[in-house]
Chain A
Amino acid sequence: MLFNSADFLIFLIVVFALYYSLLKDHQVLLLIVSSFVFYAWGQPAWLILLFSSIGINSFASWQILKNDDPKFRLSCSIVSIALNVILLACFKYAALGVTIASNFAPMPAAVLSFALLSLPVGISFYTFEGISLIVDSFKKKTNAGETSINASLEMVKPPTISADNHVRSTADNHVRNTALFFSFFPHLAAGPIVRPQQFYPQIGVKRFGDIDWKGSIENLITGYFFKTVIADNLASQTSPFLSHFASLSGKDVIAGWLGFSARIFSDFAGYSLIAIGLAAMFGYKLPTNFNFPYRSQSLSEFWTRWHISLSTWIRDYLYIPLGGNRKGTLRTYLNLMLVMLLGGLWHGGKVGLAVWGLYHGAGLCIERALGLSHNSSKSSAVIAFRVLTVFLFFAAGLILFELPLHMVRECLVSIVTHWKFASDAQHTFLVCLFVLPVFIWHAVDLWAQKHPEVSARKRLLKELVLATMLFMVITDSGDSREFFYFQF
């Protein structure tokens, strides 16, 4: 089910009404069941994968948490992480694997048809959440499992209860809480990737009066504005310009690419804001996923502002365990290249995405070698130059992200050779029209940082901007499209 569909609106109204009225004593169960309905809406068959993931991870994390034998805990962690990775790899990288393997030996028809299956919604997100649950449970660094167990212990403590029932009830609560952690519909399809320690402590009874309406509405309006007005309109302005570059002027293709970089931000940041706003309606707080990435002055800063929940996941579960920057310069560069390669491959099983990851890895290494990772300058001109360079580096990299690798060279050549072709002024006008709000949005954040004082005028201005955004959502939404990261 898509956040921008009429089905979802009806679904949301029904679930919200039941959540705070008739079923307020069974809120967690209601959220789990409704999240399963949300997930099963388009692809009911894939529900089995979500169930498997919940089953494997809740069982394994429970075993890891309650068992004191370090060897058992280690082997249980390894097996369950491997299962998570295999589950993801089977669906995400099957096509790539089969393509490579078919060069060496003919593949059976069944394998080929499996490889061509569409990707189950959200699998990349909930698999990573599963891995973080297992790792955090193993380290006991997080209170994820413990919190749920302790909370469960408190809830099922009446003196009449037997020891066996006690353990069974706490295990039941752990399964229930884990099911909600995985399936909570606002973040199920496309993140943000939530950590156990962020989510488990929030599970509990929620009251209508405690809803953060201001935050929720602001996030929902902004999110829907970016998705439906900016991203959906830019989709029709950029998609044909990316796929038909051969018949276009080089200037139009460049405009298309700039539009595409605004579109991908608006689509994904829009989704994340909607997810955060929806979660707030149900009393949950999801982490920020985008923090004005196009105002970054370095690539290192960019990756702390873009898809934050994935970059911090990669940092905590890959980069730091690999040694981070603590094992010498060469090893740091190697680690950077490796994690960015894996980050690229997380986006899909295509060679182009691996190259895209390496491109960013190389960018980070060069930046580090030149000592440009930190924002030191106070000069506006230098800051503007750095912001522009980072943006252009990212936008250029999107060619690798979006086009099949064999077409990248053709596209670059065509930009140069077709530079003098007549450009489509209407296209350029429309791209500028829809790209502008994205850059104004970032510029306002820069301005607000310099002028942090709160005033009634600023508040009024903010409300008027939000009202205009809502007006645009109603009047100027583009043809409704799937979220970019929906089937991911």
Chain B
Amino acid sequence: MKIVIYTALIFVVYQLLLWISGAAPGQGRDNFEQNCITAENYRYLKKAPEVLIIGSSKTNFLDYHVLKDNVFHTGFGGQSCLIGLEILSKSKVLPRLICVEVGDTLQWPVEPRYVEVASSPFEIGDVLSCLQHRYQPCALLLGLYLQMFPRQLPPEDFRRYLIEIQQLELSGELDQRRRQKVLDGCVQARALMEELRKRGAKIVMIDPPVEDSIAKSRYVSAVVRVVREYFAKTDFQLLTPPPYDWQTRDGTHLKPESGTHYSIWLQQNIQMLL
């Protein structure tokens, strides 16, 4: 019984510390936790953003200092835009403009737990913030650590090595089963996008660039072709970035300079669309 009382006391002290310190949300220690934190960051927004970018972790590497305060993003690592679309379809308030990442990530499976974290009617974290993923002691510790020692870009030789490995992995064909999976993802995304458009949101498609050699790999180019062909039949506008020597950290995620360059271009387009 004493242990239960002490545990309750620890909860009270921790919650008080969170309130008093006004701690900023922490960082996820793995993909699952980071995605839960992304979902919570959306759930606990004070008001719906004017512009929302939804997609995979590729959208996390844009420059959000360049993109204005009215732009918010939910990029789920290892997931596609379907998670963000599902969350929005359950949301009562919609942004004015939704930028949907439509590209090779539509092949990924959907993890419904993230939709639950963002959209379920009640989460225990609504009552006690110490029970939210983003305020877990581990998340805050990692957040502090990353503030002190920010993640460094990989050295050039290692970066090239990572890209070479990816190229090897992506040199295979897109088989029929996977092709069908990609198509199923497209159908689902389109249905959700149409539903959101009916509810008044403006929708455009984006696809943050990847390393040229990865984009031209047999597998990725085949997936992107399937996606482009499918969405070419719809009337959703695709914002195609201008030609540029896009540099990535690992083949997929933009380096800061390229992220800034893409974000400036995207911001100009957003301004025109609003």
Contact = CB atoms under 8 A, between A and B. Distances in A.
Given A471-B11, A474-B131, A475-B130, A426 B3 contact: no
Contacts of A474: 7, 131
B191 interface: no
B136 interface: yes
Given A236-B29, A422-B152, A475 B136 contact: yes
B131 A422 contact: no
A475 B137 contact: yes
A422 B138 contact: no
A247 B161 contact: yes
Interface stretch (B141-149, B193-201, B230-238): B141-149
Contacts of B6: 463-464, 466-467
Contacts of B32: 236, 479
B135 to A, nearest CB: 8
B112 interface: no
Interface string A457-478: 0000001101110111011101
Contacts of B3: 217, 221, 463, 466-467, 470
Nearest to B169: A247
Contacts, number: 69
A106 to B, nearest CB: 26
Interface residues on A, range: 20 to 34
Interface residues of B, number: 32
A72 interface: no
A430 B137 contact: no
A100 B26 CA distance: 51
A337 to B, nearest CB: 40
A311 interface: no
Nearest to B164: A247
Contacts of A479: 30, 32-33
A246 interface: yes
A425 interface: yes
A94 B260 CA distance: 56
B158 interface: yes
B138 A433 contact: yes
A233 interface: yes
B273 interface: no
A1 B4 CA distance: 26
Contacts of B137: 472, 475-476
Contacts of B11: 471
A422 B31 contact: no
A237 interface: yes
Given A236-B31, A236-B32, A422-B154, A467 B7 contact: yes
A426 B33 CA distance: 14
A227 B2 CA distance: 23
B155 interface: yes
B10 interface: yes
Contacts of A429: 142, 145
Given A236-B31, A247-B165, A426-B146, A476 B10 contact: no
A246 B141 CA distance: 29
A236 B138 CA distance: 14
A421 interface: yes
B141 A237 contact: no
B93 interface: no
A422 B158 contact: yes
Given A421-B158, A479-B30, A430 B142 contact: yes
Interface string B1-42: 011101101110010000000000000011111000000000
Contacts of A247: 161-162, 165
B234 to A, nearest CB: 36
B30 A237 contact: yes
A461 to B, nearest CB: 11
Contact of B165 (A246, A425, A433): A246
A220 to B, nearest CB: 11
B151 interface: yes
Nearest to A470: B7
8 contacts: A233-B30, A236-B30, A237-B30, A421-B161, A433-B138, A433-B141, A467-B7, A476-B138
Given A233-B30, A247-B165, A433-B141, 10 more contacts: A221-B3, A233-B138, A246-B165, A247-B161, A422-B154, A426-B142, A475-B131, A478-B30, A479-B30, A479-B32
Interface of A: 217, 221, 233, 236-237, 246-247, 249, 421-422, 425-426, 429-430, 433, 463-464, 466-468, 470-472, 474-476, 478-479
